[in-house]
């Protein structure tokens, strides 16, 4: 060792692929006929945060393009779509609508995707916002975003990312 210099301990090298594996962002959508709630996980895939409530247009392609633009911005490893189910676990007309819309989004997405049970998320979101003393007119603008957060957090918790 040279005089006047301190010995340096070698730090482990982290390769790009290893960093990419640590970045586990997941994007979730609560698909509705009028609005779509959007949420994203933190880079470690532990917690969900709301991004926006998107008001649907009359143009399916425009709506799909908007969601894909968000996905391209966050670069998630997976897209999760809230899947409406009846209380008995069966799928109804809204589930078919959600699946058809998700299929359109997935045509422009080459990553992983999943559907997740969204039963009671909108009711839970409404209850959270009422407890937060948010006025009805304000709730309308954020309820879908909060529902997307609840869907994504449920997914993350069940998958053991926490």
Residue-wise pLDDT tens digits, 17-62: 444 444 689 999 999 889 999 999 999 889 999 999 999 999 999 9
Closest listed residue to residue 66, CA positions, set 54, 58, 78: 54
Read off the pTM.
0.78
Distance CA 133, CA 115 (A): 31
User: Helices (H) and strands (E) in the chain — how many of each?
Assistant: 5, 5
pLDDT for the residue numbered 13: 47
Distance, in Å, from the CA atom of 37 to the CA atom of 152, rounded to the nearest integer, reads 11
Whether the CB-CB separation of 35 and 140 falls below 8 Å is answered with no
Summarize pLDDT for 116-128 with one digit per residue, the tens: 988 766 666 667 7
Give the CA dihedral 35, 77, 161, 64, nearest 10 degrees. Answer: 10
d(CA 88, CA 90): 6
């Amino acid at each position: 060792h040279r005089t006047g210099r301190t010995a340096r301990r070698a730090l482990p090298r982290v390769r790009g692929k290893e960093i990419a594996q640590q970045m586990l962002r997941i994007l979730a959508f609560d698909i509705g006929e009028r609005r779509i709630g959007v949420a994203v996980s933190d880079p470690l895939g532990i917690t969900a945060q709301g991004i926006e409530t998107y008001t649907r247009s009359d143009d399916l392609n425009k709506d799909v393009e908007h969601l894909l633009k968000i996905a391209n911005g966050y670069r998630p490893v997976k897209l999760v779509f809230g899947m409406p189910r009846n209380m008995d676990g069966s799928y109804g007309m809204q589930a078919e609508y959600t699946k058809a819309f998700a299929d359109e989004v997935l045509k422009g997405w080459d990553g992983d995707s999943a559907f997740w049970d969204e039963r009671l998320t909108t009711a839970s979101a409404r209850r959270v916002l009422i407890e937060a003393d948010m006025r009805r007119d304000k709730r309308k603008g954020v309820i879908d975003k909060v529902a997307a957060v609840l869907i994504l957090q449920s997914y993350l918790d069940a998958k053991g990312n926490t």
